[in-house]
Chain A
């Protein structure tokens, strides 16, 4: 740790001065090119693009042009990445490739004209939109947690400070008492964003009042739900907001040591957080006597080992202690007896990142957004059969339909929306007919799903709901730690039944058996993973019972997903008689003359699907 003399900031006044300097430095004078280097854009080649732009910028600078290239965190709209924003004008270019660089330099940077083909085109009107503010994906969002996303370089603490970062910390340390902070968080109505939705303020208060002299704070960054990447984006793109929230929380609770538990699959988050922690220490925002307040706090990063169950608080703490990541009974809460037997406050990444906003803008500003029981905003990752894959932050109370259809752009390819899955493996499927439900902890629970950490998987009419339940149960069987009988055996038994149904060998009483296993899991399993494992099954049975019955009684998969539970037929109008299917059919049961429609001999068909795969005219249909 760096001694008090070497660090940069010794008081809130120092911080304010640094902010002014940084803001002045960041004030754009010439052209600023900001390239998204978030996970999605990176995969789509923004690394190579960055190198190409760097070359171009150097040339421009050599020619005396005032041009800057900036690396920016995730904008959220991953579908159209790599995203490039050019100031002045804040022109947003999407799907930018290396080959576009010369044209961008010539037209936009030197010529000051927008390139029509790189702009985002509104899918409804076809009109091109130049800035992010006009794009419907962004227009309806309300950003608290992601408020700096798309504006700052994740590796620069100065960028964060320039936009008002760490002001909340200075305010909390100098103008507020721990009691005031806790009351502020209580008043804000902030609830845990990890899925459970426990009131954060109450958690902090219990922890502060718990017996003991050493307390810990933990950030749960073990985001493991399939299709969820909200916490990842926060950790990778605005790591300082998590750190700032944790320091404020630690001050309120009376803790001097914190841990950030990051899943092993997020190496970039570890790199970014590590740098952020080092920068914060260098600045005197972590360590001893933070900002001259006398309060000391430090942070450590711990990497997970690839176990989903370590997102459960007691398993996470066991893992932090160096033990196998297994949960324990929570009859004594972790806020009283947690890590190393000390009172411990564990919050999700997004929860911590909300704290600076609440302290800066006040509890009322936060609580003015949202519903009666759920305040503020929620970040969702939109994935699955959706047009605008990406990260969105919406006010609580917005209906799922608005999120999926208006922001997400609905289902692509003219297919029909069937259901939305929220809450990961612990959540459930909400059918299209109930999509007008507002996003709210209690409303979603009532539907048999849950808020979860914010993964939102959209399914179209080609998705088999029995298959969905099977997918999640298969995930849970692989991720169950195996400690308790109910989860280890019960989930495996349920998966066995679901496999049977999907193979067309379901028995008439299988649905009842599944529901019985669900009841058992709910009461008898040790931790949340097992208790909520029933949700994917129950919700699909509740809303899509007909599909189960069709699988079991008619041996037919209405979504044509379960292999063997649908037939193949050649549509004679489409068949050109090329003979490819006849040649490829392993059973040699397709007959037909050249250039004449072919026919499958249904009785002998093994339903392998080869003809469907090879037909160049889409003349083979699943029925």
Chain B
């Protein structure tokens, strides 16, 4: 296992891990917005910059893409790193000045908004980190959304900016969104994935009528399992618990310990 030093702390971590993995394993804070352990590193947000030193050479790298090497010396707090990280944060804040999670992180990095104007807002509150796109493709396998356009005009959307037929309404994109831009809006029979305009039918609990999840997603699960789902999957969590509790109670009564 490679051994490296991060901010004077010795860290030992498995081969193939990234510097960000190593830092987090050692309890060292490195901010990152486009990183999620579930998907491959993308290296887009540029917040996780650290300074690495090997031999006499130092360079600034994104820790989410840089694999650990034995003897690597990493600094997450050098002047250069802090300056670059703050600069990146300032740019992000100029792009999405209203995002609450972003503002919180900016505060953590001691960055104040206001110096740079908003000049590139192609999609409200979105920092184009790509997590939603990558999770939809890599984990869900739906590829319902992707990047559209180039450069400052880039946005995340479904093809032709229309509601997507490929979307299974799983909500993974909303779950990974680091700035709270993607939201699930619940309607009577449908869930809407905002801002992609996609609406998907929801499955309701056969007992109480509460929303459980989206119909296409459960269909997907059914297809993967290869057999009809048990009746209990059509129940909401609390009804499921009630039913299990009832069965257990009956069992307990009948067995008479």
Contact = CB atoms under 8 A, between A and B. Distances in A.
Interface of A: 307, 324, 328-329, 331-332, 477-486, 488-490, 492-493, 496, 516-517, 519-520, 523-526
B60 A492 contact: no
A329 B92 contact: no
Nearest to B152: A492
B128 interface: yes
B44 A485 contact: yes
A496 B95 CA distance: 13
Contacts of A523: 49, 60, 80, 84
Interface string B118-140: 01100000011010000000000
Nearest to A496: B119
A480 B149 CA distance: 11
A485 B45 contact: yes
A482 B150 contact: yes
A481 B151 contact: yes
Given A520-B84, A524-B46, A324 B147 contact: yes
Contacts of A517: 87
Contact of B87 (A332, A483, A524): A524
Chain B interface size band reads 35 or more
Given A524-B49, A526-B43, A488 B66 contact: no
A492 B66 CA distance: 27
A24 B60 CA distance: 61
Nearest to A530: B46
- Residue with the highest number of chain A CB atoms closer than 10 Å, among B43, B47, B153: B43
Contact of A490 (B67, B91, B153): B91
Contacts of B47: 485
B44 A478 contact: no
A480 B152 CA distance: 8
A489 B42 CA distance: 17
Given A520-B84, A523-B84, A488 B128 contact: yes
Contacts of A519: 83, 87
A499 to B, nearest CB: 10
Contact of A479 (B60, B61, B95, B151): B151
Nearest to A324: B147
- Residue with the highest number of chain B CB atoms closer than 10 Å, among A479, A493, A526: A493
B152 A477 contact: yes
Given A329-B62, A493-B91, A493-B116, A485 B152 contact: no
Contact of B88 (A329, A481, A485, A496): A485
Name the 5 nearest CB pairs between A and B, nearest first.
A482-B154, A489-B91, A520-B87, A329-B65, A480-B151
21 contacts: A324-B147, A329-B43, A329-B66, A331-B66, A479-B150, A479-B151, A481-B151, A484-B43, A485-B46, A485-B88, A485-B128, A486-B88, A488-B152, A490-B91, A493-B119, A496-B117, A517-B87, A519-B83, A520-B88, A523-B60, A524-B60
Contacts of B149: 482
A486 B43 contact: no
Contacts of A525: 46
Contacts of B80: 523
A58 B168 CA distance: 70
A125 B88 CA distance: 59
B23 interface: no
Contact of B46 (A332, A480, A493, A526): A526
Contact of B151 (A324, A477, A496, A520): A477
A457 to B, nearest CB: 23
Given A480-B150, A480-B152, A526-B46, A485 B65 contact: no
A485 B147 contact: no
A315 to B, nearest CB: 12
B20 interface: no
Given A520-B84, A524-B46, A489 B65 contact: no
A482 B120 CA distance: 11
A307 B150 contact: yes
- Residue with the highest number of chain B CB atoms closer than 10 Å, among A332, A480, A488, A492: A488
Nearest to B120: A492
A488 B43 contact: no
Given A490-B91, A493-B91, A524-B87, A478 B151 contact: yes
A589 B246 CA distance: 93
A485 B92 CA distance: 7
A28 to B, nearest CB: 52
Given A493-B91, A496-B117, A524-B46, 20 more contacts: A329-B61, A331-B61, A479-B150, A479-B151, A480-B151, A482-B147, A482-B150, A482-B154, A484-B44, A485-B45, A486-B91, A488-B151, A489-B91, A489-B92, A489-B120, A493-B119, A516-B87, A520-B87, A523-B84, A524-B88
Interface in B36-51: 42-47, 49
A194 B44 CA distance: 25
A332 B66 CA distance: 9
Contacts of A331: 61, 65-67
Given A477-B152, A482-B151, A523-B60, A489 B95 contact: yes
A496 B87 CA distance: 16
A284 to B, nearest CB: 43
Nearest to B119: A496
B94 interface: yes
Contacts of B45: 484-485
Contacts of A477: 151-152
A53 B43 CA distance: 59
Contacts of A520: 84, 87-88, 91
A399 B42 CA distance: 43
A410 B125 CA distance: 52
A89 B165 CA distance: 72
B154 to A, nearest CB: 4
Nearest to B146: A324
Nearest to B155: A482
Contacts of A482: 128, 147, 149-154
A565 to B, nearest CB: 22
A480 B147 CA distance: 14
Contacts of B65: 328-329, 331
Contacts of B43: 328-329, 484, 526
Given A483-B44, A523-B60, A526-B44, A488 B120 contact: yes
A493 B95 CA distance: 10
A493 B117 CA distance: 8
Contacts of A328: 43, 65
A386 B49 CA distance: 44
Contacts of A516: 87
- Residue with the highest number of chain A CB atoms closer than 10 Å, among B42, B61, B150: B150
A486 B147 CA distance: 18
A316 to B, nearest CB: 16
Contacts of A478: 151
A524 B151 contact: no
B119 A492 contact: yes
Contacts of B116: 493
Nearest to B62: A329
Contacts of B87: 486, 490, 516-517, 519-520, 524
A479 B153 CA distance: 11
A481 B150 contact: yes
Interface in B173-191: none
A68 B128 CA distance: 61
A195 to B, nearest CB: 20
Interface in B93-119: 94-95, 116-117, 119
- Residue with the highest number of chain B CB atoms closer than 10 Å, among A331, A485, A486: A485
Nearest to A330: B65
Contacts of A481: 150-151
B201 to A, nearest CB: 31
Contacts of B61: 329, 331
Contacts of A496: 117, 119
Nearest to A480: B151
A328 B64 CA distance: 12
